[in-house]
Amino acid sequence: QVQLVESGGGLVQPGGSLRLSCVASGRTFTFARYDMGWFRQAPGKEREFIGSIEWSGDRTYYVDDVKGRFTISRDNDKDSLYLQMNSMKPEDTAVYYCAASFGSTWPPTRYNYWGQGTQVTVSS
């Protein structure tokens, strides 16, 4: 059984920063072999893909909305994925999810293991 557990969400002011973590576990799940992605779902909207990182950590991808503000990283020794969010905006308010995909970071439909999500609210 695979578990992805996000943490680090909370309330932050516009312009502020937040760092999300996602820790993976599971007897048959080798984190270092999986490509990882971050998604978010705002109230009343569909869940959207915001970025990914390859299994090695060598390559990352970001959608335009977050490019230059968000950074995805991973530590395979700690089975952990991170999302550093800077210069945050009210429109970044959403539940943020990490997800795992074997073999490719694209398309978003490939991700088949999901965390439970963590709430991020950007408001003054």
Question: How far is CA 3 from its chain centroid?
Answer: 14
Chain segment 114-123, per-residue pLDDT in tens:
999 999 999 9
Chain segment 25-73, per-residue pLDDT in tens:
999 899 999 999 999 999 999 999 999 999 999 999 999 999 999 999 9
Q: How far apart are CA 65 and CA 81, in angstroms?
A: 20
pLDDT score recorded for residue 88: 98
**Closest of 107, 117, 84, 119 to residue 5, by C-alpha:** 117
13 pLDDT above the threshold of 90: yes
**Closest of 52, 50, 49 to residue 36, by C-alpha:** 52
* CB contact at 8 A, 119 and 12: no
pLDDT score recorded for residue 1: 87
Q: How far apart are CA 99 and CA 41, in angstroms?
A: 13
For 4-8, what is the mean pLDDT?
Answer: 98
